[in-house]
Amino acid sequence: MDDELLFLSAQQAGRRIREGELRVVDYVTTVLDAIEASQATLNACVTINREDARAAAAVADIAVDAGVKTGPLHGVPVTVKDMVAVAGMPNKNGSLTCENDVPTEDAPAVRRLRAAGAIVVAKTTTPEFGHKGLTDSLLTGITRNPWNLERTSGGSSGGAAAAVAAGLGPLGVGTDGAGSIRGPAATCGIVGLKPTRGMVPHPARSDPFGNQSFTGPMTRSVGDAAMMLRVMSGPDESDPWSLGHGKVKKPGFTGDDLSGLTIGYAEKMANPEVAPDVVANTKACLDLYASLGARIEPVHDDFDWAEEAGRVLYQSAIHHAVAPLLPEWADRLTPSYMAFAEWGAQWSAGDLLEAQAARGDLFARVQGLFTRFDVLMSPTTACTALDAEFDATSDVMINGKACGITRQSWTAYQYPFNLTGHPALSVPSGFGEDGLPTGLQIIGSWNADPVILALGSILEARRPWADKHPTREARGL
């Protein structure tokens, strides 16, 4: 199987398709074959769209042959997390309870990607209802990390991250409710963006106004992420936040000159420990920005990131969602999902209201940081990938110390910006001592998605990662 073809960026593939150098049917078939071959090792996909994807590819080739004007993603394969609606494809949410849920309409992001010419090749795995930072479920089993099959691909967009990292399509649609794009991106060595609230429409039937989940791109390059964001962005009636979206901010720096840019560096957030190799890789990235003129200043260690308030909101929502499923499905729900629901039962209505107020206070505090700093940076995860079979209800061990469950330890850098709505980008920062990827998180003010993407692109140009691939054996090839 052609690795050169599998690891084309979307921009490279699109150019070759437009210029007649690459037939879409050949390209899409190669990706589909790789997806199927990798299932025994990675298990990144839950539904493979072979027949429809090949039919769409044939139509795409006809359009090129006829000289029809095509969209920016014409003929490019995309995978979609199995919590995002694709018309005619099951939307299983990693749950046995949803096996018969087949949407009749695309989610806004998918509709726009298809309008730009992208071809949906598969739905990717997720833990049950995206409830944790590892990707396994009773429905699909374990999704593994292509860099080391004994480790997790992260979660809850772990299937999307594993697929993109393994060359199973250059583009993945993920969702991020508490780091579910950024964590897997860091864990699998790819790019993942949680956009500003409302930048990409994300319908949330349960609470469209207080929702803390986002739809965003997962790619191997910053350029592809930026292109996906452009295609998916814009108002949609399904998301009230998208309707009143503010003016998008452009980078205030020119080229590589970062003089005058001030970066606030948070080495820790709610986590008590961070692995030395993660710190070393993060500081190497910061040193690069400093060499281009940026000023690096620490964010004080006692900054309140509202971890408990975030947990109240998250776990009480799970408790509410599980309750109607219990009579029929109690013995067929993921144990960690049930445990999170039980934890959520302890919170009262008063606790929930106080947590909502704390969320507002956190937003004000983070806004205050952006009066001092142009951007914030941190590690994306406090250590490299956990074991594939790690119990999400257990303490994570970092530097030999028990540090609490994943959101208090491994992924503590991620959830605050779901609560506040600020855009946050994870880009590869290097590899840890165990050979697994680490990530740098870049956070911007509201609507500054282009700014953080530009900073990611600068890092990518000087510390490239897209030429580094997992082994063919891990990918089942």
- Residues labelled catalytic: 81, 156, 180
Residue identified by tokens 């999307």 is: 160
| Nearest-angstrom CA–CA distance, 297 and 434 | 29
Q: What is the dihedral of CA 96, 99, 103, 109, to 10 degrees?
A: 50
> How many CA atoms lie less than 13 Å away from 234 in the CB half-sphere?
10
438 φ/ψ sector (left φ>0, alpha ψ -120 to 50, else beta): beta
The residues, any chain, with a CB within 8 Å of residue 57's CB and separated by 6 or more, are 24, 25, 27, 28, 29, 75, 119
Nearest CA to 439 among 465, 467, 473, 477? 465
| Nearest-angstrom CA–CA distance, 98 and 337 | 15
Task: Give me the DSSP letters along 306-348.
Answer: -HHHHHHHHHHHHHHHHGGGHHHHGGGS-HHHHHHHHHHTT--
Q: How far is CA 26 from CA 32, 53, 69, 219, in A?
A: 10, 11, 21, 21
The residues, any chain, with a CB within 8 Å of residue 146's CB and separated by 6 or more, are 42, 153, 162, 165, 166, 188, 470, 474, 475
Q: What is the dihedral of CA 82, 84, 89, 93, to 10 degrees?
A: 40
| Nearest-angstrom CA–CA distance, 439 and 392 | 21
Judge contact between 212 and 313, C-beta under 8 A: yes
Q: Which residue type, as a one-letter code, is found at position 411? A: T
The residues, any chain, with a CB within 8 Å of residue 442's CB and separated by 6 or more, are 375, 376, 377, 424, 425, 426, 427, 452, 455, 456
What b/e sequence results for 128-158 when a residue is b if at least 16 CB atoms lie within 10 Å of its CB, and e otherwise? bbbbbbbbbbebbebbbbbbbbebbbbbbbb
Strands (E), 180-258: 191-194, 214-219
Residue identified by tokens 């491994």 is: 410
| Nearest-angstrom CA–CA distance, 60 and 170 | 17
47 bridge partner residues: 123
